[in-house]
Each structure stands twice: as structure tokens, then as C-alpha cells.
Amino acid sequence: MTARLPLVACYGGTFDPVHNGHLQAALDVCERAGCREVRLIPCHVPPHRAVPAASAAARQAMLELALVGRSQLRVDVRELQRDGPSYTVDTLLSLREEFGEGVALGWVLGADAVAGLNVWRDWQRLPELAHLLILDRPGYPLPERGPVARELAPRLTTVVADLHARPAGRVWCVRQAPLAVSATAVRETLAAGQSAAHLLPLPVWAYIKQQRLYGYENDLGHKAESE
């Protein structure tokens, strides 16, 4: 019988800001896949999208606030400590070096990110370094043809034990009911002068107000709310 490897899931993102959808997804993955822990890894410079609105320090602070009291979730700042673009392949190489082959690694990503996976640096190496744990996002089915489909299809599994049987190499879809929230929606809500309290963990909402992030200070509605 092969040994059951502990599984560490790594959840990369801009987290600009971290919101309830991220938290629910991380907790869901943790429970359903039987993870030892889930690491939330804020990126420093995202290679394929605009520069984040909040500073790296603020994004890290919000993540730390969001995870208080959730011992199975941890912030991992290795991408913030690295200069230049945050390539996932570099992050996975450094995680693999830290954990060795005795731990299975999972890289969590939303189904929205999967369609464009083939523009990520060295994307075909990613499944060699970690399992891919794919989160449902409404409106984003997995690709059925093209290079990403060809690479991922033979690796697909619905069996959680497969994720613990080897250090990397499988693709598993997290059949969650995703919360209809995104960081873009949070930023737009704030920019429109509305409260985002219902979209965020409360300590994160308090931090945004205190630091006047995402245009919070310019809005009369917000001022009225805090008076």
C-alpha cells in the first residue's frame, strides 16, 4: 500500500482585497481535499494583469486580518519577498524545495484563470510540481479543446485519494457553490460610494475604512456611515 501524503494547498492571487469568496473557497478546498493547510500567497507583481490598487503591505495586512482564528489557513509572503513578476512556476519550485517529495502540493486556481493558463511562464511544468485544484467560477467552463484541454484532460480525477497518493500531477475540480463576489466588484462597490461590508470579513472592512483604501475617503455616503 502506498503512503498517504499530507496535502498542502497553495492559493495564489492578487487579493486586492481578500474577500468572502476567497475565504469560502480556501476553506472548502481545505475540507474537501483533506488538506493539512492552505497557504494564501499574495502576488507581488502579477505578470498578466494590471498593477494592484492597494500596496503589497496593505494586501498582506488584509489577508492576515482575514485569517485570524482560522488556523488551517496561512499567509505565505514568498512572492512579496521576490523582486520582479510573480511567476507561479518559481513559487512552486520554491515550495517544492521547502517541502520535498514527501508532501503533495496543490495549486488552487479559479476556472476563470484556466482558459489562459497557456500564457503562464513554463505552464506545462506546473502539473509536474503540484496538483491543480480548480475552483468553479460562474460562466467559466473548463476548456474542451486547445492546448490547455489537451494537457489537463488526462490528469483529471474526482477521487480525493489520488491527491494524496503522489506529490503532484493530477487535476481536481472543486465542485463548490462559489460566492458571486470578486475583488473587482468590491473595488467598484467602494468606488460607487457604497458599503462593501457584506462582501468582506469584518476586520478587512474596518481596515479599508481606517486606511481609506479604494477611494473610500472621497465618498459622502461612506462619511455618513462612519459618523
Q: What residues line the site for ligand ATP (CB under 6 A)?
A: 13-16, 21-22, 25, 109-110, 112-113, 135, 137, 178-179, 181-184
> Judged by CB, which is closer to ligand ATP: 5, or 23?
23
Query: Minimum distance between the CB of residue 2 and ligand ATP, rounded to whole angstroms?
Result: 30
> Judged by CB, which is closer to ligand ATP: 1, or 51?
51
Query: Minimum distance between the CB of residue 145 and ligand ATP, rounded to whole angstroms?
Result: 21
* Distances, alpha carbon 137 to alpha carbons 14, 52, 176, 177, 200, in Å: 16, 21, 9, 9, 18
Closest CA to 67 of 131, 11, 138, 111: 11
> Judged by CB, which is closer to ligand ATP: 5, or 28?
28
Query: Minimum distance between the CB of residue 61 and ligand ATP, rounded to whole angstroms?
Result: 15
> Judged by CB, which is closer to ligand ATP: 137, or 209?
137
Query: Minimum distance between the CB of residue 62 and ligand ATP, rounded to whole angstroms?
Result: 11
> Judged by CB, which is closer to ligand ATP: 14, or 91?
14
Residue whose C-beta lies closest to ligand ATP? 110
Query: Minimum distance between the CB of residue 170 and ligand ATP, rounded to whole angstroms?
Result: 18
> Judged by CB, which is closer to ligand ATP: 99, or 120?
120
Query: Minimum distance between the CB of residue 171 and ligand ATP, rounded to whole angstroms?
Result: 14
Please return the burial class of 161, using the count of CB atoms within 10 Å of its CB with bins 0-12, 13-18 and 19+. Answer: exposed
